[in-house]
Structure 1
């Protein structure tokens, strides 16, 4: 397929008129980075692919809802992350890996950052994060683990700025409680 020079916003307008080739082009432009970010969030390739497919189905059905405000990529990410959260809600929480698993990876050729992320995801904090609701976990990950500001996280998650702040506060409260109970 030959790509056009149409902007993402123009492609959305064409999609809202039923242009399948415009959807194909939008998918080609954005599916790569969206899938990478969804995989990073989900830790499950199949779940990330399902969320991505659901997101582009939603784009096909609701392209006319784009108001022309902000970047189309951010709008797409908001749809994709909401689809991922819906997929996560529908499945049971995974069993957390224990410290033996973390110890096995700690001596490997992983970078310091990768070792830290494994320890966070699969240690006591990972266990406590797994008990958070998907909404609280997404806000916490976006701001604390990914280093986004609350405004960036709000745009990313497609919720108001104040909602992100509330979710982070609640997540920290739950995590603090769960981690303190683990010490006693």
Structure 2
């Protein structure tokens, strides 16, 4: 991703590793809005979401040398942010993961003046394309497992802790959800539940 300065995210990460606060600000300006938009769709506490976004950029400042240049910076930042969110959810019982795709707001992802990022475009496709309809028809339990393991990249053990079920239950639900999704996507005219 490039901004008005023409520097890529990877170049900016390198500058942050050398202590350049201007590069950190540029990365924050590029990524904070979409991180916030994604996290707010996942957590019922706006203050926690703001803290997690800030924690993500503090981690970027401290650990920028850990970025190996493999993959997109946005995906790396999302991994940091989501792990921080999971840590918050584990420590507080009053916070919940919001797994329902129907509550998402596509306009929030498009609110930035530079338009949606490539990641937002992919997410919008997942949340509002053919797959979205199939995901919405899954039971809430199956949908939450798919979101945690497939979309957020948690291990089955982490997803189990987050969702309050055993790891084997996560594996079983994921297996059944994938089977239902395959059926729904190969034969979209037939209804199923």
Normalising by the residue count of structure 1, what TM-score does the alignment of the two structures yield?
Answer: 0.57
Q: Give the match for residue 51 of structure 2.
A: 50
Deviation at 1:171, TM superposition (A): 5.7
Q: 1:55 to 1:94 in 2, by over 3 A?
A: closer
Mark the runs of 5 or more structure 2 residues left unpaired by the alignment. 97-101, 104-138, 173-193
Q: Give the match for residue 169 of structure 2.
A: 173
Q: Give the match for residue 141 of structure 1.
A: 144
Could you tell me how far apart the structure 1 residues matched to 2:56 and 2:83 are?
8
Q: 1:64 to 1:140 in 2, by over 3 A?
A: farther
Could you tell me how far apart the structure 1 residues matched to 2:48 and 2:158 are?
27
Q: Give the match for residue 84 of structure 2.
A: 83
Q: How does 1:22-171 map to 2 (within 5 A)?
A: 22-93=23-94, 113-114=102-103, 141=144, 143=146, 146=147, 150=150, 152-154=151-153, 157=154, 163-164=155-156, 167=159, 170=166
Q: CA RMSD in A?
A: 3.7
Deviation at 1:75, TM superposition (A): 0.3
Deviations 1:9-53 (A, max 9, x none): 000000000000000000000000000111111121111001110
Could you tell me how far apart the structure 2 residues matched to 1:70 and 1:142 are?
25
Larger radius of gyration: 1
Deviation at 1:165, TM superposition (A): 8.3
Deviations 1:116-148 (A, max 9, x none): xxxxxxxxx88xx7xxxxxxxxx96362xx4x8
Higher relative helix content: 1
Contact 1:140 1:171 in 2 (8 A): no
Q: Give the match for residue 17 of structure 2.
A: 16
Contact 2:55 2:84 in 1 (8 A): yes
Deviation at 1:166, TM superposition (A): 8.3
Mark the runs of 5 or more structure 1 residues left unpaired by the alignment. 96-112, 115-124, 130-138, 158-162, 177-184
Could you tell me how far apart the structure 2 residues matched to 1:141 and 1:4 are?
40
Which 4+ residue blocks in structure 1 deviate beyond 6 angstroms? none
Contact 2:13 2:23 in 1 (8 A): yes
Deviations 1:68-94 (A, max 9, x none): 111110000000001111122222335
